[in-house]
């Protein structure tokens, strides 16, 4: 997880071991980080991210 410390606007999602989101303006990128790999799941408007991710 030390690689994740360099990402601006990163937030680990509570209640999910490997789920993260990154804020980019009005959009959010949802991804899972496991075994030093990022698996991107969603890029969606901020009002909808928590409805569909994780």
Q: Tell me, what CATH number does 36's domain have?
A: 3.30.2310.20
Please identify which residue in the block is written with the tokens 């790999």: 37
User: How many structural domains comprise the chain?
Assistant: 1
pLDDT tens-digit readout, 7-53 = 999 999 999 999 999 999 999 999 999 999 999 999 999 999 989 99
Q: Which domain holds residue 27?
A: 2-52
- Banded model confidence at residue 4, pLDDT cuts 50, 70, 90: confident
Cα(40)–Cα(48) distance, rounded to whole angstroms? 16
Cα(5)–Cα(51) distance, rounded to whole angstroms? 26
């Amino acid at each position: 997880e030390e690689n994740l410390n360099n990402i601006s606007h990163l937030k680990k999602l509570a209640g999910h071991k490997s789920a993260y989101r990154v804020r980019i303006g009005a959009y959010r990128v949802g991804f899972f980080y496991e075994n030093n790999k990022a698996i991107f799941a969603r890029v969606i408007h901020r009002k909808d991210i928590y409805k569909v991710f994780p």
